[in-house]
Structure 1
Amino acid sequence: MAQWHADTIESNGIRIHYTRTGGDKPPVVLAHGFSDDGLCWTPVAEILQADYDVIMVDARGHGRSDAPDEGYTPAHMAADLAGVITGLGLHKPAVLGHSMGGSTAMALAGLYPELPGAILVEDSGARNYMEDNSAEAQERRRQWHDRMVKLKGMSREALLDYARTNMPTWPEAELGPWVDAKLRFNLKALNRGGATGMDWDQILRSITCPALLLTADPELGAMVTAERAAQMQALIPQLQVVHIPGAGHNIRREQFGPYMEAVRNFLAQVTQGARG
Structure 2
Amino acid sequence: MPGLTLDGTRLDYRLAGQGRPAVVLIHGGCCAGSDWALQAAALERAFAVLTFDLRGHGRSDGADGNLSIARWAADVNALVDALDLAPAVIVGHSLGSRIAAEAVWQKPANAAGLVLLDGSRTLGSQAATVSSPAVAPPPDEDRSLAAILDKTIGPFADAAVRARVIATMSSPPEAVMWAAARALEEWDRDRADTVFASLPADLPVLAIQSTYHDKFTPRRSFVRSTETSPYLDGLRAALPSLQVVVLPETGHFSMMERPEAVTALIRDFARAVREKESA
TM-score, scaled to structure 1:
0.76
Task: Label 1:241 to 1:13 Cα distance change in 2 as closer, same or farther (>3 A).
Answer: farther
* Cross-structure match for 2:230: 227
Query: What are the equivalent positions in structure 2 for 1:1-276 lying under 5 Å apart?
Result: 6-11=1-6, 13-127=8-122, 147=145, 169-170=157-158, 172=160, 174=161, 178=165, 181-182=168-169, 184-192=171-179, 193=182, 195=186, 198-208=190-200, 209-218=203-212, 221-222=220-221, 226-276=229-279
One-letter amino acid of the counterpart of residue 181, structure 1: T
**Could you say which structure has the greater relative contact order, defined with CA pairs below 8 angstroms and 6 or more residues apart?**
2
Task: Label 1:220 to 1:180 Cα distance change in 2 as closer, same or farther (>3 A).
Answer: closer
Unaligned runs of 5+ in 1: 1-5, 130-135, 137-144, 152-161
Once the two structures are overlaid, the 10-residue window that deviates more, 46-55 or 62-71, is 62-71
For each residue in 1:9-55, what CA deviation from the matched residue of structure 2 results, as whole angstroms up to 9, or x when unmatched? Answer: 02355211111223354311110012210111111111111111111
Aligned-partner Cα distance in 1 for 2:274–2:232: 24
Equivalent residues of 1:92, 1:117 under 8 A apart = yes
Equivalent pairs, count:
248
Task: Label 1:247 to 1:24 Cα distance change in 2 as closer, same or farther (>3 A).
Answer: closer
Aligned-partner Cα distance in 2 for 1:254–1:68: 29
**SS, match of residue 109 in structure 2:** coil
Task: Label 1:30 to 1:176 Cα distance change in 2 as closer, same or farther (>3 A).
Answer: farther
Aligned-partner Cα distance in 2 for 1:127–1:115: 27
**SS, match of residue 114 in structure 1:** helix
Aligned-partner Cα distance in 1 for 2:11–2:167: 18
Equivalent residues of 2:211, 2:220 under 8 A apart = yes
Query: How much identity, in percent, do the aligned residues show?
Result: 23
| Aligned-residue offset at 1:101 | 0.8
Equivalent residues of 1:212, 1:241 under 8 A apart = yes
Aligned-partner Cα distance in 2 for 1:10–1:177: 28
| Aligned-residue offset at 1:176 | 7.7
One-letter amino acid of the counterpart of residue 145, structure 2: R
Task: Label 1:232 to 1:167 Cα distance change in 2 as closer, same or farther (>3 A).
Answer: closer
Aligned-partner Cα distance in 2 for 1:244–1:127: 20
Equivalent residues of 2:17, 2:45 under 8 A apart = no
For each residue in 1:115-160, what CA deviation from the matched residue of structure 2 results, as whole angstroms up to 9, or x when unmatched? Answer: 111111111125569xxxxxx9xxxxxxxx9628x99xxxxxxxxx
Aligned-partner Cα distance in 2 for 1:183–1:119: 28
Aligned-partner Cα distance in 2 for 1:271–1:221: 34
Equivalent residues of 2:157, 2:250 under 8 A apart = no
Equivalent residues of 2:18, 2:47 under 8 A apart = yes
RMSD: 3.6
TM-score, scaled to structure 2:
0.75
Equivalent residues of 1:109, 1:206 under 8 A apart = no
